[in-house]
Amino acid sequence: MDTRTDILCYENVQDIPGYIDLVKEERDDVITYVQNYLSKPSLALQIVTYKVASKVAKDDNDQIIAAYGWHVVEHLGQGKDGYTFLGHKFIERGTNNTKNHIIKILSGYAQHYVENTKIFNFLVLQARENGIATHPLIKDQTVKDTFCYYYSRKPYKHVRPGLKELHHMLASICNMNYWCIRNTGMVFWDLGYNNGRNFMSDNKKLRWVDYGGAGMLRCPNFDEVVSKYKNAPVLSLTPLQNKENLVIANSDFIMCQFLLNYEFHAQPDSTADIYASMLQVRKQMVPEIMYLMPRLCKSRFTQDIFENFKDRRWDDQTTWKELGRYIIANHT
């Protein structure tokens, strides 16, 4: 019986399978490096197996084949926030005990915002401990400084719904943001552009898949929510100079992003993604693009939402609750 998956840590570097090959090849650099990770058996085994003094292993084509103790099963995508793959613990490789997860290796850009992801995850868990069920779209995850992961038996599928089905999905997103603001003081603004929507299908169940800190904003009730917990993570994150509208919520920014995202996916030749990017850069861009929104909203859906919700507070939970109900009543 293979008992590798039961190992909690290696007591000595000599216990790691493949160590003798490092000695024969005089790979003192790898031997020295791996001794720092004996308490992380999957990572230690990965380092010795690929004979690389690094937490990331690549093949001859510069493709990642293992990282941070995770074996790559399937490459899923790469973007500004990092590299995502389906994988399982390296120590499970070749056994019957594999448990697949979605793993994202964070880029330097994403690492700048990882504090947001950590505090969001903390507040979700605290809400659950207080008897508040986690919203069904939100996944349990583990967040590290350089990567994060959550359980998933297989990759999620991109959604390509008809209009009515899409509107039902957007109503669910509204309900999720209502839950998030109420229980975490944070809201998701980035619904996904060129790499696909950030809500996907998990065996016909809708899931939110992007928990990057740049894609969530702190709402006016954030400090009140956090103040309930003495052991909350310490925050020092502030907006980057060229991303002034990230981190702290701006109501008009959130509304514009919601509507521009809809237009981007609705119109094949849309320039909505360009305006969405411009919105992030300077605070002065928000009123300027708000002025253009009547012309940028070309679909009946976005025109209607803009007309009826342009004066609402999109950083308040009530708006999202009412928006979800409005979409169901008028667009499904």
For 176-233, the pLDDT digits (tens) are 999 999 999 999 999 999 889 999 999 889 999 999 999 999 999 999 999 999 898 8
- Note the pLDDT tens digit of each residue in 236-285: 888 888 999 999 999 999 999 999 999 999 988 899 999 999 999 999 99
Torsion-angle region of residue 219: left (phi > 0), alpha (psi -120 to 50) or beta? beta
Predicted pLDDT of residue 238: 86
Beta 147-151 vs 186-188: how paired, if at all? unpaired
Measured CA to CA, the distance from residue 78 to residue 97 in angstroms comes to 28
pTM value is 0.92
Residue 7 identity (one-letter amino acid) = I
Predicted pLDDT of residue 272: 96
Predicted pLDDT of residue 6: 61
Predicted pLDDT of residue 79: 87
Predicted pLDDT of residue 2: 41
- Note the pLDDT tens digit of each residue in 65-115: 999 999 999 999 998 899 999 999 999 998 988 999 999 999 999 999 999
Residue 4 has pLDDT above 90, yes or no: no
> Across all residues in the chain, what is the average pLDDT?
94
Measured CA to CA, the distance from residue 185 to residue 290 in angstroms comes to 24
Residue 5 has pLDDT above 70, yes or no: no
Tokens of 110: 């994403």
Where along the chain do its domains lie? 9-105, 111-136+156-331
Q: Which fold has domain 111-136+156-331?
A: Transferase(Phosphotransferase); domain 1 (1.10.510)
Mean pLDDT, rounded, for 167-171: 97
Residue 156 has pLDDT above 70, yes or no: yes
Mean pLDDT, rounded, for 315-330: 98
Burial of residue 47 (CB within 10 Å: 0-12, 13-18, 19+) is buried
* % of the chain with per-residue pLDDT over 70: 98
Contact status, residue 176 vs residue 167, Cβ threshold 8 Å? no
